[in-house]
């Protein structure tokens, strides 16, 4: 029987919800490319409930305990005194989320000789040291596509929010003002602007499709080129390099995984190549951007706005400069964990666990590492390496 340790974000400050704003969430059976949504043998939750916080337990307790497994759920994940640090030593499986990432570093793997499976309840397994997972024979799996559309919707919202200057305008209202000139002094239309995505995977392509009706010019860069029919349908301009693309774009949206090729891709040098006054929306991973270079580019006006929901580390220290830099529209890491998305990734984790315990193959599209190498979607979209360096700084948040 297995010991499963699951790290989830904290419950709401005013308690775990007893009722919800809506009575249901739409049922989605298939993603846009035809992949089916998760297919566990059953679920023990009602879609639309909070599943991603500690008391929600991803709806897994009944399933795991009735099959004789032990299940520890905690939000305490950083530092030597954390619950995770203590519980991982005899864990067989760790489940963690990108939103409140349990950094599974090489040191932690070394303390956990039984650890065989790391499941990401979401998409993006950069919080696991993939090199160490490869060397230690771990399987790493994530719930591919579960929240890609959730993020794409968020990206569109943030692009419009930045370009139209929504947040400061909203703040004038709550302050009791009617300061139209203050609001519009930084407000533009996206129509006719050039927008480019770094990566045209599930999120990047969905963003392009959603922006097409705004009559924007669409650009992309990716390791693999999209099919010609898609390029024609969306009238896409493909660029060989990120540098080539950012030079001509008014808005850049970052939608690639964090791995050794993309860490700090947007540094001072890349930012200096962008058009003055461009906007960046990064819902991929905070570490793809250089923290201080972004803040400096906003201060100088080289970029006009920056928004996203991803930081490094997470939770972001209370003095993280992205909390206070000008013209930003940052939120905590929320875009992929709407109540709608939670239902899909909770079901996806259950599907992966059922496969694991029943000795059935995990879907190829969920695999990142298996058998000592990158596998499945991981072999296509990631490169070997470790992006967890510096994650110990996350302990500063709860210490503050």
Burial of 331 (0-12, 13-18, 19+ CB in 10 A): middle
374 binds ligand NDP, rule: CB under 6 A:
no
141 binds ligand NDP, rule: CB under 6 A:
no
Determine which one of 97, 165, 282, 314 is catalytic.
314
Angle (nearest 5°) at CA 286 between 284 and 288: 75
243 binds ligand NDP, rule: CB under 6 A:
no
Which among 21-29, 63-71, 332-340, 357-365 is the span making contact with ligand NDP, rule CB under 6 A?
A: 332-340
Shortest distance in whole angstroms from residue 189 CB to ligand NDP = 26
**Taking the C-alpha atoms of 261, 266, 272 and 274 in order, what is their torsion angle to the nearest 10 degrees?**
100
Out of 262, 338, 388, 391, the only residue in the binding site for ligand NDP (CB under 6 A) is 262
Residue in the structure block whose two tokens are 């950069």: 126
Which among 81-89, 167-175, 251-259, 267-275 is the span making contact with ligand NDP, rule CB under 6 A?
A: 251-259
Number of residues that bind ligand NDP (CB under 6 A): 34
Determine which one of 320, 333, 344, 350 is catalytic.
333
d(CA 31, CA 123): 15
Residues 215-234 that bind ligand NDP (CB under 6 A): 221-224
Q: Is 302 a catalytic residue?
A: no
255 binds ligand NDP, rule: CB under 6 A:
yes
Out of 73, 130, 151, 303, the only residue in the binding site for ligand NDP (CB under 6 A) is 151
Q: How far is CA 277 from CA 184, 194, 244, 364, 383, in A?
A: 15, 13, 17, 42, 32
d(CA 318, CA 381): 32
309 binds ligand NDP, rule: CB under 6 A:
yes
Shortest distance in whole angstroms from residue 231 CB to ligand NDP = 14
Out of 2, 198, 208, 270, the only residue in the binding site for ligand NDP (CB under 6 A) is 198
51 binds ligand NDP, rule: CB under 6 A:
no
3-state SS, 301-355, equals CCEEEEEECCCCCCCCCCCCHHHCCCCEEECCCCCCCCHHHHHHHHHHHHHHHHH
d(CA 311, CA 99): 10
Letters for 105-124 (x = contact with ligand NDP by CB under 6 A, - = none) are -----------------xxx
Q: Is 314 a catalytic residue?
A: yes
Shortest distance in whole angstroms from residue 339 CB to ligand NDP = 14
Q: Are 95 and 335 in contact (CB under 8 A)?
A: no
Determine which one of 154, 259, 285, 350 is catalytic.
285
Q: How far is CA 108 from CA 19, 189, 316, in A?
A: 38, 48, 21
Residues 274-293 that bind ligand NDP (CB under 6 A): 283-285
* Tokens coding 83: 């619950």
Return residues touching ligand NDP (CB under 6 A): 122-124, 147-148, 151, 198-204, 221-224, 255-258, 261-262, 283-285, 309-310, 333, 335-336, 377, 380-381
Q: Which residues are catalytic?
A: 147, 285, 314, 333
């Amino acid at each position: 029987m297995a010991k499963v340790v699951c790290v989830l974000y904290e419950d709401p400050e005013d308690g775990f919800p007893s009722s919800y704003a809506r009575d249901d969430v739409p049922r989605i059976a298939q993603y846009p490319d035809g992949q089916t949504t998760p297919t566990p043998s059953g679920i023990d939750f009602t879609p639309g409930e909070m599943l991603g916080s500690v008391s929600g337990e991803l709806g897994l307790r009944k399933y795991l305990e009735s099959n004789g497994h032990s299940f520890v759920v905690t939000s305490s994940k950083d530092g030597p005194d954390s619950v995770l640090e203590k519980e991982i030593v005899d864990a067989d499986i760790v489940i963690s989320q990108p939103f409140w990432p349990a950094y599974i570093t090489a040191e932690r793997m070394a303390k956990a000789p039984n650890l065989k499976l790391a499941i990401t309840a979401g998409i993006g397994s950069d919080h696991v040291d993939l090199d160490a997972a490869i060397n230690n024979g771990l399987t790493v799996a994530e719930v591919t596509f579960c929240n890609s559309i959730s993020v794409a919707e968020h990206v569109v919202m943030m692009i419009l929010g930045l370009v139209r200057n929504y947040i400061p305008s909203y703040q004038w209202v709550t302050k009791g003002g009617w300061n139209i000139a203050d609001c519009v002094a930084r407000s533009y239309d996206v129509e006719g602007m050039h927008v480019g995505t770094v990566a045209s995977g599930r999120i990047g392509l969905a963003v392009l499709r959603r922006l097409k009706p705004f009559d924007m010019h669409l650009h992309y860069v990716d390791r693999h080129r999209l099919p010609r029919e898609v390029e024609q349908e969306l009238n896409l301009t493909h660029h060989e390099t990120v540098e080539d693309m950012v030079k001509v774009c008014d808005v850049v949206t970052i939608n690639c995984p964090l791995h050794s090729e993309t860490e700090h891709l947007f540094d001072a040098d890349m930012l200096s190549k962008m058009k003055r006054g461009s906007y960046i929306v990064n819902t991929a991973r905070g570490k793809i951007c250089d923290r201080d270079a972004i803040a400096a580019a906003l201060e100088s006006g080289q970029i006009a706005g920056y928004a996203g929901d991803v930081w490094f580390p997470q939770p972001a220290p209370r003095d993280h400069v992205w909390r206070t830099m000008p013209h930003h529209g940052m939120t905590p890491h929320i875009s992929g964990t709407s109540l709608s998305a939670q239902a899909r990734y909770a079901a996806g984790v259950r599907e992966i666990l059922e496969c694991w315990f029943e000795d059935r193959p995990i879907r190829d599209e969920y695999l990142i590492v298996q058998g000592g190498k990158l596998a499945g979607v991981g072999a296509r979209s990631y490169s070997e390496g470790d992006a967890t360096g510096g994650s110990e700084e996350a302990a500063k948040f709860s210490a503050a």
